[in-house]
Amino acid sequence: MASANITSCRVDGLVLLRILRHCHGYSNEAPMDLCNGVLQGMINGSVLEVTDCFATPAETSEEEDSDEITEYSEQMLRLVREVNSDHVQVGWYTSTLERSPFNRVVLETQYQFQKTFSHEHSILLVYNPLETMQGRLSIEAYRLSSKAMEVMNEGSFTEKSLHEHKLSWSSMFEQVPVELHRSTLANALLLELSSTDSVDPPFEFLTVGGSTQLENCMRLMMDTVDDASQDMNRYTQFLKQQQRQQQQISAYKMRRQQDNAARQQRGEAALPDEDIDKIFKPMQAPARLDSLLISQQLSSYGKQLRDVAGSNLSKLVVLKSMQ
């Protein structure tokens, strides 16, 4: 593992086009299923360069299909190595339609990438095809923070563990700045196209819409708020039960002391000490992983609402000036 600290991610234009083709196919329709793939590249100082990628088949719940996907990825990497291309895995990509990409599957997959290959040099590219169709290219890079990796290695998301590592939902994922890189030939082509009338202006991007997307995002946010409320109720119930058990333990110890004091006055031997844990079984604290992910999802939905509303307001200002 290199000692350089990755501060940015440089994505080649060809990689972006392949991700777009994987998610959109050869039409302009948005996909209904999520798309995943493997990123390949190299480390250039403090910059992680993504120079190639390939798509992976859709995953199912069957274990055999999961093994086939792993075998397919390994075979693809061998073929890429044979043609002397960048075959180092630097992460993976996934698409997200309206739901937040932060869930248990994404968390565990990213953890395996950073644990297997490198903590600093494995990223997750999240692409949103719906926002891209509306004229806003949405591609972001994330990785698990050092604090999150330490907690994942321990396998304990209790409140005590989170407090010790000072891990919160805002420090769970780190966003890595993304910059797109184009070759000299691509820049020359774009310059030539800009000087001709062969490309029609994309006026459809000025269409003021997004009401359906806003409604869906609000609905998902409301569902996530309900999940947060249920998670909070479960944790509150645990705290009440824990407090009730502590009161019972205190009452038992007090009765024990009173009994020993009475026996001492009668000249009898004190009762032997007993293991409190055998009498009162310690309560297992619930894991706080769901709470962290729910908070991360709420933040993601809030960002989506801000972007959609801000884009529509900008379009209204432009359209008003054109009238």
The structure tokens listed for 320 are: 């008003």
Count the residues in the chain.
323
Q: Residue ranges of the chain with pLDDT lower than 70?
A: 1-4, 26-33, 59-67, 84, 86, 118-120, 196-211, 319, 322-323
CB 105 within 8 A of CB 281: no
Give the pLDDT confidence score for residue 3 in this predicted structure. Answer: 42
Do the bridges between strand 47-55 and strand 173-176 make them parallel or antiparallel, or are there none, so unpaired?
Answer: unpaired
Do the bridges between strand 47-55 and strand 8-12 make them parallel or antiparallel, or are there none, so unpaired?
Answer: parallel
Give the pLDDT confidence score for residue 126 in this predicted structure. Answer: 93
- Centre a 10 Å sphere on the Cβ of residue 100 and count the other Cβ atoms it contains: 22
Among 185, 181, 13, residue whose Cα is nearest residue 21:
13
Distance CA 2, CA 178 (A): 20
The structure tokens listed for 14 are: 């060809």
Three-state DSSP class for 211?
A: helix
Query: What's the start-to-end Cα distance of the chain, in Å?
Result: 58
Distance CA 123, CA 106 (A): 11
Burial class (CB in 10 A: 0-12, 13-18, 19+), 99: middle
Give the pLDDT confidence score for residue 100 in this predicted structure. Answer: 81
* Residue in this structure with the two tokens 């998610």, named with its chain if needed: 23
Give the pLDDT confidence score for residue 2 in this predicted structure. Answer: 41
Amino acid 66 reads S
Give the pLDDT confidence score for residue 141 in this predicted structure. Answer: 93
Among 97, 99, 125, 92, residue whose Cα is nearest residue 29:
97
Residues 6+ apart with CB under 8 A from 271: 256, 259, 260, 263
Give the pLDDT confidence score for residue 287 in this predicted structure. Answer: 82
